[in-house]
Amino acid sequence: MFGVVGILDDIPNDKQMIENEVLVPFENDTMLTVNSPIWVDGSQKVAAAQAARHRRAQRRDLAQRRLRRGRDRQAARRPARWREAAAMPTYRLHYFPESGNSYKLALMLTLCGETFEPVWTDFGGGVTRTPEWRRDVNEMGEIPVLEVDGERLTQTAPILLKLAEQYGRFGGETEQEQFELLRWLFWDNHKLTGYMATYRYLRTFTPSPDRARAEAFSQAARRFPVDPRAAHAEECVRDRRRGRRWRIFR
Amino acid sequence: MMAYLHYPADETGYDLAASHPAINAWLGRMAAHCRAGNRPTICCPASA
């Protein structure tokens, strides 16, 4: 009697099956299928083709992606007055140049083909810590703040999620991808930005930094096993690329 | 996640090339995808 010698997930990586061409790729694809043992004697064997229904689904998916890209490119080329006429949302980003969180939103908007009005804010001068700022702009006393058609949105992570949903870009498509995206977003906000950005601020932008406090943040950030996590994240993206479902920059 | 990681070592205090080579390589690949207009100095100009 045999026990379990393998599972279905092992098959695509079975070196012996691939080298012996038991598994072969579909025509014009990287997806593998079982090589047919039947061929016409004297004729050259043709590559395996996918079922018509699957090909149609692939073509439809490709066409939708091309259409979306085309729309994005058109939107980016459109003059400002056309954009206004088409009732596109107008964005104002309250930022300061050294803010990585501001950069996250600026980059997201730019990659989505949007433009925005940058509203420079004197963070170093303490503007965001004034009662007026809390009353008029953000009761949390923080920056960045993104104004969308006059509505003020705060907290970078939910704004990124909202933009991803709105533009259909850079978001998870399946429940598993959504979970993975949230997992990294929370980790970034809590562990990476929470410690590393605070250390950078204390170290570089504070006139008389409290060195002991800064060093505590630095040590906390250094303890995280960042490399394996990043390698895992990149592997996830690579997997999705293999499946032709998701690319970082599309 | 690349936002706070891409700032220079003299600001962050982290020499990622030495301490976290995989992260550093990943950032390099991400930067290669970013056009010049996506860089923080363009997205978030230094003055109003």
Find the residue in A nearest to B4 (Cα).
Answer: A100
Per the omega criterion (within 30 degrees of 0), is the bond before A97 cis? no
Low-confidence ranges of chain A (pLDDT < 50): 85, 228-229, 231, 235-250
Distance CA B16, CA B38 (A): 21
Ramachandran region, residue A37 (left: φ > 0; alpha: ψ -120 to 50; beta: rest)? alpha
Distance CA A127, CA A108 (A): 25
> What is the DSSP-derived secondary structure letter of residue A19?
H
Distance to chain B for A51, nearest Cα, Å: 35
When pLDDT is averaged across residues B11-16 and rounded to a whole number, the result is 84
Distance CA A164, CA A234 (A): 19
Residues A217/A209, Cβ–Cβ less than 8 Å:
no
- Quick one: angle between helices A175-187 and A226-242, nearest 10? 150
Report the pLDDT value the prediction gives residue A243, as an integer from 0 to 100: 44
> What is the DSSP-derived secondary structure letter of residue A13?
G
| Burial label, A239 (beta-carbon count in 10 A; 0-12, 13-18, 19+) | exposed
What would the two tokens of residue A107 be? 């980059």
Inform me whether the pLDDT recorded for B42 exceeds 80: no
Least confident interval from A93-102, B15-24, B38-47: B38-47
When pLDDT is averaged across residues B15-36 and rounded to a whole number, the result is 79
Distance CA A15, CA A23 (A): 10
Report the pLDDT value the prediction gives residue A250, as an integer from 0 to 100: 26
When pLDDT is averaged across residues B16-22 and rounded to a whole number, the result is 82
What would the two tokens of residue A64 be? 């939708």
When pLDDT is averaged across residues B4-32 and rounded to a whole number, the result is 82
Residues B44/A101, Cβ–Cβ less than 8 Å:
no
Cα distances (Å, whole numbers) of residue A202 to A207, B28, B31, B47: 9, 26, 26, 22
What would the two tokens of residue A174 be? 């399946």
Which residues from B are below 8 Å from A170, CB to CB? Answer: none
For chain B, say whether A104 makes contact (Cβ under 8 Å): yes
For A96, phi and psi rounded to 5 degrees?
Answer: -135, 145
Residues in chain B: 48
Find the residue in A nearest to B8 (Cα).
Answer: A200
- Which residues of B sit within 8 Å Cβ distance of A? 1, 3-5, 7, 10-14, 19-23, 26, 30, 33-34, 37-38, 40-41, 43-48
